[in-house]
Amino acid sequence: MRHILCMKWGTKYGPEYVNRLYAMVRRHLKGEFSFVCLTDRSEGIRPEVRCLPIPELKLPAGIPERGWTKLTTFEADLHGLKGTALFLDLDVVIVDDITPFFEVPGEFLIIHDWKRPWRITGNSSVYRFELGAHADVLAKFRVEHEAIRSKFRNEQAYLSDEIHQQGKLQYWDASWCASYKYHCIPSWPSSYWRDPIIPKGARILIFHGVMNPPDALAGRDNGNWRHARPARWIADHWRE
């Protein structure tokens, strides 16, 4: 069974992010799949999406979240789900067929971080794994979270290191997951007169930092490192 997993907690992202993500997956994934949203707020989410509670991570109160909650996708028994899961961040934009993400062999696949490619660190906006196969990663964090948080800045750094030590870390084809920040916005100063593009070979656009799809669509840089013109083509993809 193929599952698409996403996670929504708090109020940063509204239900429209889940609904549009489902619609993009439906347009770009061949064959049957289940779509699961782990969430504490299911209001307004379309009925095709199965909403399930986020497993409790038990983080100490007041610490920076930094995505640590994502580690609960590795529960030994995640609501009884079985099969292969592809996790997608809510703010990605799917622009081409994502069926190959389920076809590449490997135990654990993730984006290779673009900013420091000499490091093993992955970007966890898109990762694939067998449900229940990496429960040890979550169990270790629950026991050693203080030491782990002092060593690793965020969840994806810890996750990448742990899976790498087990010899199971693999990366997606470098062209498949493109950074909107690094690969879509033209270089300065041409970003002032050239529109953002979809890079050749890209299947999923990743929004990290201060820009989300609505910002890119409107041309709001939100203090981003580079000025960007409106990417009106996002409306063709980021829709229900």
Classify residue 222 by its DSSP letter: T
Q: Grade residue 115 by pLDDT with cuts at 50, 70 and 90.
A: confident
Q: Grade residue 127 by pLDDT with cuts at 50, 70 and 90.
A: very high
Cα–Cα distance for residue pair 99/104, rounded to 1 Å: 10
Q: Grade residue 67 by pLDDT with cuts at 50, 70 and 90.
A: confident
Cα–Cα distance for residue pair 80/73, rounded to 1 Å: 12
Query: What pLDDT score was predicted for residue 175?
Result: 97
> 130 or 226: which carries more pLDDT confidence?
130
The token duo for 10 is 């708090």
The token duo for 12 is 């940063």
Q: Grade residue 62 by pLDDT with cuts at 50, 70 and 90.
A: confident
The token duo for 190 is 């041409």
Q: Among candidates 7, 172, 179, 176, which has minimal Cα distance to 89?
A: 7
Query: What is this structure's pTM?
Result: 0.95
Query: C-alpha angle with apex 12: 196 to 133, nearest 5 degrees?
Result: 90
Q: Classify residue 56 by burial, with Cβ atoms within 10 Å: 0-12, 13-18, 19+.
A: exposed
Cα–Cα distance for residue pair 228/138, rounded to 1 Å: 38
pLDDT surpasses 80 at 65: no
pLDDT surpasses 90 at 42: yes
3-state secondary structure of 57: coil
3-state secondary structure of 73: helix
Tell me the CA end-to-end span of the chain in Å, nearest whole number: 24
Cα–Cα distance for residue pair 202/214, rounded to 1 Å: 19
Query: What pLDDT score was predicted for residue 109?
Result: 98
3-state secondary structure of 184: helix
Query: What pLDDT score was predicted for residue 211?
Result: 86
DSSP states along 109-168: EEEEPSS-TTS-PEEEEEEEEETTTTHHHHHHHHHHHHHHHHH-SSHHHHHHHHHHHTT-
- Under 8 Å between Cβ of 178 and 184: yes
Q: Grade residue 185 by pLDDT with cuts at 50, 70 and 90.
A: very high
